[in-house]
Amino acid sequence: MVMLRRWFPQQVVGVLGVMVCVALRGGAVGQAQTSTEPSLIPRNATALEGVPAVRLDATKKTATRRTLDGAEARAQGLRIRIVNGQYFWASRENRPLTLSASGDFTYLSSTEPGQYVRFRRINDRIAYVEHVDSAFGSVTYWGELRIVLGQ
């Protein structure tokens, strides 16, 4: 620890010391527990529909945040179909999605890297983030999700 103080500020040394202690005890720093059966989506759900409020376009050089008006929000809405327990990203060429959960968050991830939907309950609503990477940037939406129940 004394040698670390030469190169790192006191706060970093403290964090590194905790990480070393956890690692020596056999634990893992940042390890998340994952479940494939999140309780947030009921068994009789047939779709998830999201209305984005904010869009963020990011590249290496810039990031542009825009609040969406009603027409833009409807046009860029999130739609996920649920068919026989399988999830399909209807608003993105019906890409299949994999369901998982970590902590308070539920994830629907595409098989293509950097493309996912993450959501969680906040009081009486469900907030979501839809993220799509592209070759040299990304688009991220923040909005509110609604679960459609079927028969």
> How many domains does one find in the chain?
2
pLDDT class of 150 with cuts at 50, 70, 90: confident
Residue 26 sits in the same domain as residue 39: no
Which domain covers residue 50, as residue numbers?
34-149
pLDDT digits (tens, 9 = 90+) for 2-31: 443 444 444 433 333 333 333 333 333 333
Bigger pLDDT: 64 vs 9: 64
Residue 103 sits in the same domain as residue 140: yes
CATH number of the structural domain spanning residue 125: 2.40.160
Mean pLDDT of 76-90: 97
Residue 24 sits in the same domain as residue 40: no
Mean pLDDT of 86-102: 96
Residue 116 sits in the same domain as residue 144: yes
Instruction: Provide the β-strand partners of residue 141.
Output: 55, 130
Residue 21 sits in the same domain as residue 59: no
Taking the whole predicted model, whether its pTM rises above 0.75 is answered as no
Residue 4 sits in the same domain as residue 67: no
